[in-house]
Structure 1
Amino acid sequence: MNTRVIQRNLLMQKFTVVTIILFLGACARQPADLSFNNQGHVVNPNNTEPVAKLKLSYDINEAGLSPKGQVNVLAEKLVNELVVHNDALRADQPLLVTTPVMLNSFDNTNDLGLQLQQGMIAAFHAHEFNLVDMNVAESLRSTQQGEFILSRDWQHLPSDLPVSHVVVSSMSFTPEGLVVNARVVDVSNNRVVSAAQSFASNVTLSGYLVPSNKIISRDGVLYRHETEGKESLGVRK
């Protein structure tokens, strides 16, 4: 065998050995780590296992809900009772929640009534009723203090709303607490399609209600009691 043939065979053997070494090295080498953290969960794109379908769940204790005051709980109880006693209003009919007024004066309300109205709107929406907000103005107002679209000026509000039913409420105070009466009325014939009433003690609404003073004025005459809270409660300023 001549020298050239021997050299060629040696080169072929070296090439084969190098190829085998490279192949084994490629097989032994692990793929690049491309995993990343997605909201606390490690995601590995190199994982070829089938993706497990996680069941969606919502844990109130873990996720938490917005804290609610007792006035909002009172609003929810009223709305729940109105929904139970409803005999005509459908969930797709427009519904408007008006501001609760004082029983002895339908032209007056207070901070408690205003907040109770907002709570009832949220509670009715939770029951998937078709709510209409009459306080949304027809145009946005941009001022130095911010951008506003809510208004109680009738000149800025739409004149005709597609409302078929309204929620009306009245409040009265006693020395022990607050009495609320609410009803849903069909505005086409003033028929009451649902009614509810509730009571909240002054302790549960201490953030809004205050006991009467020892000395009070009624009809221009001063009355003095031995202790506070003998007369009807008042609204905290």
Structure 2
Amino acid sequence: MKRSGVILTCLAVLGGCESSSHNQIVPTQQGESKAAQQVRQLAQLSQELDTMTDVEYVNPGFISYQHNKQIANYAGQIALELSDSLSGVAPSAVAITSFVSFDNSLRRSNQLGNQLAESMIHQFQKMGYPALDFKSHRGIAVTANGDFILSRNAKQLPKKPAPSHVLTGTMIYRDRGVEINTRLLNFDSRLVVASSNIVIPYFILDSQATASY
């Protein structure tokens, strides 16, 4: 197909040259007509094309600066992997904690870690596993700024019901993305009943998402 296109292009060029330049001297064999000249030249060109090597096409891979991925998409992937590895266990109340940086303290989180935890609540509910929001009061605080039921003051939060399982995860910063290791633990025995491992590429994340605080 490529060679045919080149030949057709050359034929057009030869025709154009014939109509526009009668003064050029073209070496010919004695008694050879102009039509025979073109046929002979095309035959020579065809032989030269047969000896040419095609340029190899190299796939550059996936290159994009725009995407439609969201953290919720990766939270859904984590939930699916956890569900696949969860066999013979039926959690009755799952407490989901912040994902933390894999360092010496295991107490540092960031926007990504907290957003993953929030998304996992929704994803677990979609898959039929009850999530326990341990940051909620038994009552509603009515104030001039709004009506609230969530709090980060541990002394104000009820101790019961206790979760049957706890979901937690760590974040490891690799060269091309953040490796997310997630595990579901039995709250009493601390045994791992399900686990997941995914990588979120850096180009998916906001520049401030991985800043620790």
Q: Shorter-normalised TM-score: what interval? A: 0.5 to 0.7
Count residues with an aligned counterpart.
145
**Could you tell me how far 1:88 is from its partner in structure 2?**
3.5
Matched residue, 1:95: 94
Secondary structure of the structure 2 residue equivalent to 1:119: helix
Structure 2: where are the runs of 5+ without partners? 1-67
Secondary structure of the structure 2 residue equivalent to 1:128: coil
Matched residue, 1:204: 204
In the alignment, is the contact (CA less than 8 A) between 1:138 and 1:156 conserved in 2? Answer: no
Distance 1:208 1:78, change over 3 A: farther
In the alignment, is the contact (CA less than 8 A) between 2:180 and 2:199 conserved in 1? Answer: yes
**Could you tell me how far 1:160 is from its partner in structure 2?**
2.7
Matched residue, 1:194: 194
Q: What is the aligned-residue RMSD (CA, Å)?
A: 2.0
Matched residue, 2:148: 148
TM-score by length of 2: 0.63
Mapping for residues 1-237 of structure 1, pairs under 5 Å: 70-90=70-90, 93-104=92-103, 105-206=105-206, 208-209=208-209, 234-235=210-211
Which 10-residue stretch deviates more, 190-199 or 136-145? 136-145
Secondary structure of the structure 2 residue equivalent to 1:170: strand
**Could you tell me how far 1:109 is from its partner in structure 2?**
0.6
TM-score by length of 1: 0.57
Distance 2:211 2:106 in 1: 17
In the alignment, is the contact (CA less than 8 A) between 1:98 and 1:117 conserved in 2? Answer: yes
Secondary structure of the structure 1 residue equivalent to 2:204: coil
**Could you tell me how far 1:142 is from its partner in structure 2?**
1.7
Tell me the amino acid that sits aligned with residue 171 of structure 1. M
Distance 1:183 1:171, change over 3 A: same
Between structures 1 and 2, the one with greater strand share: 1
Of all paired residues, the percent bearing the same amino acid is: 24
In the alignment, is the contact (CA less than 8 A) between 1:95 and 1:165 conserved in 2? Answer: yes
Structure 1: where are the runs of 5+ without partners? 1-67, 210-233
* Structure of greater relative contact order (alpha carbons < 8 Å, 6+ residues apart): 2
Tell me the amino acid that sits aligned with residue 201 of structure 1. P
Tell me the amino acid that sits aligned with residue 202 of structure 2. N
In the alignment, is the contact (CA less than 8 A) between 2:109 and 2:212 conserved in 1? Answer: no
Distance 2:206 2:93 in 1: 34
Distance 2:86 2:208 in 1: 30
Deviations 1:102-159 (A, max 9, x none): 1113111111111110111100000011221101113221222111111111011112
Tell me the amino acid that sits aligned with residue 119 of structure 1. S
In the alignment, is the contact (CA less than 8 A) between 2:69 and 2:204 conserved in 1? Answer: no
Between structures 1 and 2, the one with greater helix share: 2
Tell me the amino acid that sits aligned with residue 144 of structure 1. A
In the alignment, is the contact (CA less than 8 A) between 1:102 and 1:108 conserved in 2? Answer: yes
**Could you tell me how far 1:201 is from its partner in structure 2?**
0.6
